[in-house]
């Protein structure tokens, strides 16, 4: 190629690049489904008002009425919903109790692990921990994910090779106390939820993901999930569960239906009724049951509120079950460790989705 041709080609390439840079961006793809008229929501997400949103899906009366994906995400994208996965662990414990392999939530935890004794920091307070304590974040373990100094803070667990040994060896909180009803003080503890999953493994004789897979996920038609594991291969039952938005909606719909899916009973209605009511109030307007949150959602500027049971995870991930609207709302977001991540996602429910459900 001659020098003149090379110069000419370079000028042409520069001109094409310049024109491409000046061209308006392609119009955003419309939602896959929008029976709620949520144009304002789509614009707000695309303008970045709510951080990094991956997917939003809303179902009502068993039908999807809104579904949209953002960035490079689509219907088959798997998003790590972090601690939202804890709520699935609560359902799994209910199935095991229904099966009779666990006596109930008052079952002491440490006897399931006697083959690993002696435990570090053993004592009466640790021996008194029951399954209910782990499900309600009320155990005596010195474990607080919201305090970097806590011996049980989850990042410390992730740095260990064997998470079961880590959780069983945690010290007891020297300031631990129980209310007059026997409920331990609230302290958010992923290691405790992981220990609940390991308790289920020992009770059922199956690995946690295997049990959950064939007893809950397969009946729901959920076939593609992503579990995190410890360096020793232990399945993380305390969160970091990768799901499609459509599959997250199915878990919410199972709860909304009182434990049934398409006429099939998966978990007892009695367990759903026991699992959801709050036993602790860890924040303003927030309650906590058995690994499920409870919140009041404002419906726009009207002042009306609706109650929701929620799966919540770091990054702004939400699965909201709203009985008053017969609705399940899924927001998948990747605002991990961003201050206000939950508030950014909840604002989508309050500004757009819940008001639209009331109007339609």
pLDDT of residue 67: 98
List of residues 6+ apart from 159 with CB closer than 8 A? none
pLDDT of residue 27: 59
Q: pLDDT value at position 218?
A: 98
Taking residue 171's Cβ as centre, other Cβ atoms within 10 Å add up to 16
Q: How far apart are CA 157 and CA 142, in angstroms?
A: 13
Roughly how many angstroms between the first and final C-alpha of the chain, as a whole number?
Answer: 66
What is the C-alpha to C-alpha distance for residues 252 and 63, in angstroms, rounded to an integer? 13
Give the contacts of 19 (CB within 8 A, at least 6 positions apart).
Answer: none
Residues of the chain with pLDDT under 50: 1-9, 15-16, 19
pLDDT of residue 265: 98
Name the nearest CA neighbour of 300 among 346, 260, 354, 248. 354
CATH fold of the domain at 31-81+241-360: Beta-lactamase (3.40.710)
85-222 placed in CATH 3.40.710.10: yes
Question: Which residues of the chain form CATH 3.40.710.10?
Answer: 31-81+241-360, 85-222
How far apart are alpha carbons 137 and 159 in whole angstroms?
22
Identify the pLDDT of residue 284. Answer: 83
Res 209: pLDDT? 98
């Amino acid at each position: 190629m001659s020098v003149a041709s090379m110069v000419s080609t370079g000028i042409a390439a520069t001109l094409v690049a310049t024109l491409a840079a000046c061209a308006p961006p392609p119009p955003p793809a419309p939602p896959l489904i929008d029976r709620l008229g949520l144009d304002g929501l789509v614009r707000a997400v695309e303008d970045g008002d709510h951080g990094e949103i991956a997917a939003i899906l809303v179902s009502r009366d068993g039908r999807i009425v809104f579904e949209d994906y953002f960035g490079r995400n689509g219907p088959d994208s798997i998003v790590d919903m972090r601690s939202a996965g804890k709520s699935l662990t609560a359902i799994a414990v209910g199935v095991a109790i229904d099966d009779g392999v666990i006596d109930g939530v008052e079952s002491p935890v440490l006897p399931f692990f006697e083959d690993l004794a002696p435990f570090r920091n053993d004592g009466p307070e640790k021996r008194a921990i029951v399954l209910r304590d782990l499900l309600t974040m009320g155990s005596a373990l010195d474990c607080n994910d919201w305090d970097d100094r806590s011996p049980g803070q989850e990042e410390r667990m992730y740095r260990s090779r064997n998470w079961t040994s880590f959780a069983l060896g945690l010290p007891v909180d020297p300031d631990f106390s129980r209310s007059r009803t026997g409920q331990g003080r609230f302290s958010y503890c992923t290691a405790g939820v992981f220990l609940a999953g390991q308790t289920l493994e020992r009770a059922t004789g199956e690995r946690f993901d295997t049990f959950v897979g064939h007893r809950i996920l397969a009946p729901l038609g959920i076939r593609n999930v992503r579990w995190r594991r410890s360096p020793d291969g232990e399945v993380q039952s305390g969160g970091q569960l990768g799901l499609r938005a459509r599959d997250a909606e199915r878990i919410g719909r199972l709860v909304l239906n009182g434990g049934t899916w398409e006429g099939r009973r998966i978990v007892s209605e009695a367990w759903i009724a026991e699992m959801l009511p709050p036993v602790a109030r860890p924040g303003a307007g927030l309650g906590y049951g058995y690994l499920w949150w409870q919140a009041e959602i404002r419906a726009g500027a009207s002042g009306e509120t609706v109650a929701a049971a929620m799966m919540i995870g770091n990054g702004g991930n939400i699965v909201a079950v709203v009985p008053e609207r017969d609705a399940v709302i899924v927001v998948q977001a990747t605002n991990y460790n961003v201050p206000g991540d939950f508030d950014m996602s909840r604002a989508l429910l309050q500004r757009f989705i819940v008001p639209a459900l009331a109007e339609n």
